[in-house]
Amino acid sequence: MEDRHKQIKSAQLRSDILKQLYFKKTLLYSELSLIYNKSIPVINKIINQLIKDGLVAEVGYAASSGGRRPQMYSVKTNAMYIMAIAMDQFCTRMMIVDMQNNPVTNTQLVELPLNDNANALPQLISCINSCIAKSGINKTQILGIGIGMPGFVSVSDGINYSYLDAGDQKLTHLIHKAIGVPVYIDNDSSLIALAEQKFGAAKLKDQAMVINLGWGIGLGMIVNGEIFRGSNGFAGEFSHIPLSEDGALCLCGKQGCLEAEASMLVVTKKAIEGIKQGKLSSLQSFINEPLERIATAIFEAIAIGDQYVIELLSDAGYKIGKALAILIHIMNPQTIVLSGRGTKAGKIMLAPIQQALNKYCIPRLAGNTELLISTLGFDAELLGAAALVMEYLDDDILNAHFKQKQQPMDKTSV
């Protein structure tokens, strides 16, 4: 039971206001005053302190309806930097962003298979190091490294139970020690959900389910305005719910999992098989290429309206829709967002998903849930990884970087 009633003291509002500015881009005194239920002078004091520390800047004036125009405040772009990393089963992307989420490096793409790869962790570490080196940014200027990864990730423990085994250490600690910058990890789908909630299609939504259409089918849950992780951090294991009694065999060992029936990986494999058996498709020339290429080819096929690919995706969509019907019955979300690298495929799936919802959902529930397409697409996970670092920001971390200048004593003697 959540019994501990914490009281936010304004002295501990510094980091919170900074977060607020990061997520909302720009804010006024009056808005901050409303958000925190504090009087303007209290906000004024903190903002002035943040400006003195070089963290926040005035960025012009907002409109006024007659009267002095209010100052807008933002985090200073180059006050600090964040490293964002998005991993999937085969590939890892990373970049460094400033305090307004502008990339300050290119997105580095590394082939880094996670499965049965004892070398994955050292490889990841060396990539991070070289990316930072190339950027020319001092490590002390980096607030943290946020990493999204597939698998059973416990955020609170800093451990991934599926990949990147760190022995008896915490994965976060190990990388932190190796790089010298704090590390935060999370499940890829949760980060996509975080990104959609903060910057994307689920913005300002309190109850949203974000489907990560990647090689698998992930689920990131926004519950009561926050990422929901369940009691062990494993909530949202959507892809392995038992859907059909005698379905395809899944990698997890069970039968009839959603993932085994409708994931991008399965669609891709079906496409290859179908083409080999004579189906006509624009994919034909790609069937011997690596998966990563085929995925791109599928998106291109969608763009030109390839009938066979659309047929396969529709079929997958209908199955996802049936699973979403279950999800809606349990969670009664306001919004479902189709996101992740497969966002483009999601557009094709919208209709069959809606069809399945109509069939399998009680109308009162289906009617109350909107089905949206990500506005962030493939970038969602990276944005989420950056947001993760900011989510964890607190006054201790902030003070470690920006010591509040000691006020000169008024009393002449101690």
Partner DNA sequence: AAATCTTATTTAATTTTTTTAAAAAGTATT
Partner DNA sequence: AATACTTTTTAAAAAAATTAAATAAGATTT
Smallest distance, DNA to C-beta of residue 27, A: 10
Query: Based on CB atoms, which residue is closest to a second copy, 269 or 329?
Result: 329
Residues binding a second copy (CB under 8 A): 1-8, 16, 20, 35-37, 152, 161, 197, 203-207, 219, 221, 223-226, 228-238, 240-242, 244-245, 252, 254, 322, 325-327, 329-334, 360, 362, 364-365, 368
Kindly tell me which of 40 and 249 has the beta carbon lying closer to DNA: 40
DSSP-H helix ranges across 277-342: 291-303, 307-331
Token output for 244: 């059909």
Question: DSSP 3-state assignment of 129?
Answer: helix
Considering the complex, state which of residue 126 and residue 332 has its C-beta at the smaller distance from a second copy. 332
Shortest Cβ 37–DNA spacing (Å)? 6
Give bridge partners of residue 347 from the DSSP assignment: none
| Rounded CA Rg of the chain | 23
- CB under 5 to 8 A by kind: which of a second copy, DNA, none does 41 bind? DNA
Q: Are 59 and 72 in contact (CB under 8 A)?
A: yes
CA 141 to chain centre: 22
CA dist., res. 282 & res. 304, Å (int): 9
Binder of residue 232, out of DNA, a second copy, none (CB less than 5 to 8 A by kind)? a second copy
Q: At what angle do helices 307-331 and 264-276 cross, to 10 degrees?
A: 150
| Binding-site partner at residue 392 among a second copy, DNA, none, CB < 5 to 8 Å by type | none
For a second copy, give the closer residue by CB, 41 or 230.
230
Least Cβ distance, residue 17 to DNA (angstroms): 13
Q: How far is the CB of 73 from DNA (least distance, A)?
A: 8
Tokens encoding 243: 């859907």
> How many C-beta atoms surround the C-beta of residue 103 within 10 A?
14
Amino acid identity, residue 129? N
Using CB under 7 A as the criterion, which residues of the chain lie in contact with DNA when the complex forms?
7, 9-11, 28-30, 37-42, 44, 47-48, 61, 63-71
For residue 290, give every residue at least 6 positions away whose Cβ sits within 8 Å of its Cβ, in sequence order, or none. Answer: none
Q: Which does 109 bind (CB under 5 to 8 A by kind): DNA, a second copy, none?
A: none
Give CA separation, 114 vs 101, 157, 164, 175, 239, in Å.
27, 20, 7, 16, 19
Give the shortest CB-61-to-DNA separation in angstroms.
6
Complex with DNA: residue 45 or 176, whichever CB lies closer: 45
Q: How far is the CB of 43 from a second copy (least distance, A)?
A: 12
Contacts of 328 (CB under 8 A, 6+ apart): 336, 357, 361, 365, 366, 369
User: In whole angstroms, how close is the CB of 225 to DNA at the nearest point?
Assistant: 23
What is the spatial distance between Cα 150 and Cα 90, in angstroms, rounded to a whole number? 10
Residue 154 interacting entry, from a second copy, DNA, none, C-beta within 5 to 8 Å by type: none
Q: Residue type at 134?
A: K
Q: What angle do CA 238, 241, 247 make, to 5 degrees?
A: 125
Nearer to DNA by C-beta: 56 or 121?
Answer: 56
Q: How far is the CB of 36 from DNA (least distance, A)?
A: 9
Nearer to a second copy, 75 or 295 (CB): 75
The one of DNA, a second copy, none whose footprint includes residue 4, by CB under 5 to 8 A per kind, is a second copy
Q: Nearest-CA neighbor of 317 among 354, 270, 283?
A: 354
Q: Indicate the residue among 25 and 329 with the shorter CB distance to a second copy.
A: 329
Closest separation between CB of residue 114 and a second copy, Å? 17
371 contact, one of DNA, a second copy, none, CB 5-8 Å limit per kind? none
Would you say 24 or 293 has its CB closer to DNA?
Answer: 24
Check if the beta carbon of residue 59 is closer than 8 Å to that of residue 75. no
Report what 70 binds from a second copy, DNA, none; CB cut-off 5-8 Å by kind. Answer: DNA
**How far apart are the C-alpha atoms of 289 and 299, rounded to whole Å?**
15
